[in-house]
Structure 1
Amino acid sequence: MKQFEANFDGLVGPTHNYAGLSFGNVASQSHATQPSNPRAAAKQGLKKAKALADMGLVQGVLAPQERPDVHTLRRLGFSGSDAEVLQQAATQAPALLQACASASSMWTANAATVSPSADTHDGKIHFTPANLVDKLHRSLEPPTTANILKAIFADNRHFAHHQPLPAHANLGDEGAANHTRLCQAYDNAGVEIFVYGHSVLDPLSPKPLKYPARQTLEASAAIARLHKLDEDGCVFIQQNPAIIDQGVFHNDVIAVGNQNVLFFHEQAFWDSNKKLAELRAKCQGELHLIEVPSHSVSIQDAVNTYLFNTQLVTLPQGEMALIAPTDCAENPRVKAYLDELLTLDTPIKQIHYFDVKQSMHNGGGPACLRLRVAMNDVELAAINQQVLLTDELFSKLNHWVERHYRDRLVAADLADPQLLLESRSALDELTQLLKLGSIYPFQQ
């Protein structure tokens, strides 16, 4: 039975815009109010996903959310026709309209936490959509995210779906952006690494002083229980609060893992020596811990280039490759480190650079754009095959973007009723193309 890791990339939505909604995300805030290009953003994401499929990796796509979210605006007291709701929100509470028009679901690393069947007691792949309670605009996503995941991974013989954790700050959960898995082979039981920002119940747990710690230990522990994981197969590591205050809002901004490799910055974790020793003890077989020193790459350079928000993938021939943003190649210090990395005795033998600047400017690199699902060929055959990226689907999606997406969007456009109609028309067509059924409120 073949085993591999599939990547499911989030399609960028038609309302992709720079509203600077994510406090603690330096890129998001620094590009606030600038014009965006939804068409270019969607095509950049598709091009990156197609390149991975062409490398021989299993690649799928996930649909975006319905935006603007008129249903939520009505819950907040705006009334009348859809056009009137948008206009009232724009006039009376523009920040609420911006939150309800965010296209942040493109960063599907935050969509859910996924545990493969090799790790779980019941031998199923488990999914828990993230509650994303720290940010209003993202907290609106879980119901539709759950619909999308269930429409793709529908066979209950192979897949188990859980509700998001209760929507409370004590259980703040940001999904796979704070979770990774190490193993010798994808079909072997692995060690799942849960990285948290602080513990609500531990008074000695350090906390960042400037920016919020979005993931709690209590949330991570709950997900491990829901997914029926063994204690020996989990390591809970606290993120260094000092680097959260420097813009490292998720662990995937400072570390990435794949199979028996963990690639991370030396300042990534709190109590690092103790936790890395625990990781070594629990991992079976050879383990490569690639620690990047501060004198080679500063935290600022790591955040500005998203060096660690790269995808670390295993190619069919067995070599590992980093899928990096072009920003890494454009920074002399980061590029020098990556050139040196290829000369070291590690499994990482290739680096491929991709232009995803529309996403980068809003705070997400290549790793943000994908949800990883380790699975075997039987499980792959059980999913909705229409979401798997082929030459034909790639062509159809590019034409779909051309027909429905604008090439320029500013904050004032979010109140345009025509944008809502364009978005709904695009999503209605997409659900038919991907055979997802009626997953959006406007379809029900």
Structure 2
Amino acid sequence: MKSYEVNFDGLVGPTHNYGGLSYGNVASQSNSQQSSNPREAALQGLAKMKALMEMGFQQGVLAPQERPDVAALRRLGFAGSDAQVIERAAKDAMPLLVASCSASSMWVANAATVSPSADTADGRVHFTAANLNCKYHRSIEHPTTSRVLGAMFADQKHFAHHAALPAVAQFGDEGAANHTRFCRDYGQAGVEFFVFGRSAFDTRYPAPQKYPARQTLEASLAVARLHGLSNDGVVYAQQNPSVIDQGVFHNDVIAVGNGEVLFYHEDAFLETDKMLAELQAKLGKCGGNFQSICVPRSQVTVEDAVRSYLFNSQLLSRADGSMLLIVPEECRGNERVWQYLQSLTSSGGLIREVKVFDLKQSMQNGGGPACLRLRVALNQTELAAVNPGVIMTAPLYGTLTQWVDRHYRDRLSENDLADPQLLLECRTALDELTQILKLGAVYPFQIN
């Protein structure tokens, strides 16, 4: 039976803004307080989805969240009508209003961890929504994320959904941004690769000194248990604490993998040789041939990687077996990174082509191509069981671009977040979107 890796890209929400909320994310903090363009951001993301669909890849859409999150503000003591809640938060606690307006759910690599049916004990595709408890503005996402994923992958015969892990520091979980999977074929058993930044209970593991390590070993172990993964099909590795302190807040900022290939920076991990040997041995037992591409620090520094988001790219397998790397425009703008990519593709190695996309609106807020997509490996039967409304087609692309043009502003500043009209605009847009994507009632304003 044929199997696919389907990329479900996050649709940028109507409140896309540069709040500078993510400490440890250099791009997010450096562009704080600048005016954003939500319409352009959404259209840039849709253009990437359309392009990959036209290249023959399976492509889906993951809906944004309701923002401002008035319910979250009410839990923090703001009362009155929705408009009064927003007005009082703007007056008394503007940082909380900014957090409640974050459109960070666009980066759906953080939405969940996904294990395909070939790896799990019960033969179903498993989803665990990430608690994202390291950052308040992201920690409020997982209830809606769970409902949206449940509406997309509803058939319990094929799909299993788990609630987010306990929202405490010991189980900080960042989803697929710190997880990838290696396999010979998407429909065959593979090796799931969990990368953590620290251990909550074991002091033998070093921790970064400047920026927080968001993913814990304990969270990764818990997700593997929930998904019914075997020890022979799992490898755990620790991020290098020194690169976290240089702005590598997730593993997908310093490494990306697909199929049998890991593309990574020389400084990405601790005990790299041991990790690579374990990946090679375990994938070999699954019939695969693990291969790695190490980018030397002498050619691309960690600073270059963070500024260009070279590794926050999509590594895609083509039908002929060659690999394609999808990178942001910023890679072409960095001389050392672009020179490296030119030498990489001209060498006749594993990665044969690089395609560049303009994702400036997302990049300025700290997320590149890899942040914008959640990968789900599905066989033909499972793909047929997915809600068809979320699978990208040419007509859906046209409908969504028209939807964006109708509902999104072309400029948004921090002061605009205090406008109660923005909440009405967002709810109107999302109510229409759930009908377009055939999701049903998934947002709090539709349920309460």
> What TM bracket, shorter-length normalisation?
over 0.9
Q: Quote the Cα distance in structure 1 between the aligned partners of 2:349 and 2:262.
A: 11
Q: Which residue of 1 aligns with 2:376?
A: 373
Q: Quote the Cα distance in structure 1 between the aligned partners of 2:125 and 2:306.
A: 32
Q: How does 1:286-305 map to 2 (within 5 A)?
A: 286-305=289-308
Secondary structure of the equivalent of 1:342?
A: helix
Q: Quote the Cα distance in structure 2 between the aligned partners of 1:112 and 1:87.
A: 33
**Residues 57, 316 of structure 1: 8 Å contact kept:** no
Q: Which residue of 2 aligns with 1:251?
A: 251
Q: Quote the Cα distance in structure 2 between the aligned partners of 1:159 and 1:316.
A: 26
Q: Which residue of 1 aligns with 2:141?
A: 141
Q: Is 1:306 matched with 2:309?
A: yes
1:175, distance to aligned residue in structure 2 (A): 0.2
1:348, distance to aligned residue in structure 2 (A): 1.2
Q: Quote the Cα distance in structure 2 between the aligned partners of 1:125 and 1:386.
A: 19
Q: Quote the Cα distance in structure 1 between the aligned partners of 2:204 and 2:380.
A: 45
TM-score normalised according to structure 1 size: 0.99
Q: Quote the Cα distance in structure 2 between the aligned partners of 1:422 and 1:279.
A: 48
Q: Which residue of 1 aligns with 2:228?
A: 228
**Residues 288, 346 of structure 1: 8 Å contact kept:** no
Q: Is 1:206 matched with 2:206?
A: yes
1:316, distance to aligned residue in structure 2 (A): 2.7
Q: Quote the Cα distance in structure 1 between the aligned partners of 2:410 and 2:214.
A: 33
1:317, distance to aligned residue in structure 2 (A): 3.0
Q: Which runs of 5+ in 1 are unaligned?
A: none
Q: Quote the Cα distance in structure 2 between the aligned partners of 1:14 and 1:72.
A: 18
Q: Quote the Cα distance in structure 2 between the aligned partners of 1:126 and 1:345.
A: 37
Q: Quote the Cα distance in structure 2 between the aligned partners of 1:307 and 1:370.
A: 16
**Residues 279, 290 of structure 2: 8 Å contact kept:** no
Q: Which residue of 2 aligns with 1:73?
A: 73
Q: Quote the Cα distance in structure 1 between the aligned partners of 2:60 and 2:275.
A: 34
**Residues 129, 146 of structure 2: 8 Å contact kept:** yes
Secondary structure of the equivalent of 1:368?
A: coil
TM-score normalised according to structure 2 size: 0.98
Q: Which residue of 2 aligns with 1:337?
A: 340
- Name which of structure 1's ranges 113-122 and 342-351 shifts more when overlaid on structure 2: 342-351
1:51, distance to aligned residue in structure 2 (A): 0.4
Q: Which residue of 2 aligns with 1:433?
A: 436
Q: Quote the Cα distance in structure 2 between the aligned partners of 1:111 and 1:346.
A: 32
Q: Percent identity?
A: 64
Q: Which amino acid aligns with 2:342?
A: D
Secondary structure of the equivalent of 1:213?
A: coil
The CA deviation string for residues 282-340 of structure 1, in whole angstroms up to 9 with x for no partner, is 11232211000001100000000000000001123332100100110111100000001
1:343, distance to aligned residue in structure 2 (A): 2.4
Given candidates 352, 356, 359, the residue that maps to 2:355 is: 352
Q: Quote the Cα distance in structure 2 between the aligned partners of 1:73 and 1:132.
A: 18
Q: Which amino acid aligns with 2:432?
A: E
Q: Which amino acid aligns with 2:207?
A: K
Aligned residues: 444
Q: Which residue of 2 aligns with 1:240?
A: 240
Secondary structure of the equivalent of 2:281?
A: helix
Q: Which runs of 5+ in 2 are unaligned?
A: none
User: Pairwise CA RMSD of aligned residues?
Assistant: 0.7
Q: Which residue of 2 aligns with 1:160?
A: 160
Q: Which amino acid aligns with 2:340?
A: Y
Secondary structure of the equivalent of 1:126?
A: strand
Q: Quote the Cα distance in structure 1 between the aligned partners of 2:283 and 2:155.
A: 31
Q: Which residue of 1 aligns with 2:262?
A: 262
Q: Which amino acid aligns with 2:133?
A: V
**Residues 197, 217 of structure 1: 8 Å contact kept:** yes
1:73, distance to aligned residue in structure 2 (A): 0.7
Q: Which amino acid aligns with 1:282?
A: K
Q: Is 1:400 matched with 2:403?
A: yes
Q: Which residue of 1 aligns with 2:416?
A: 413
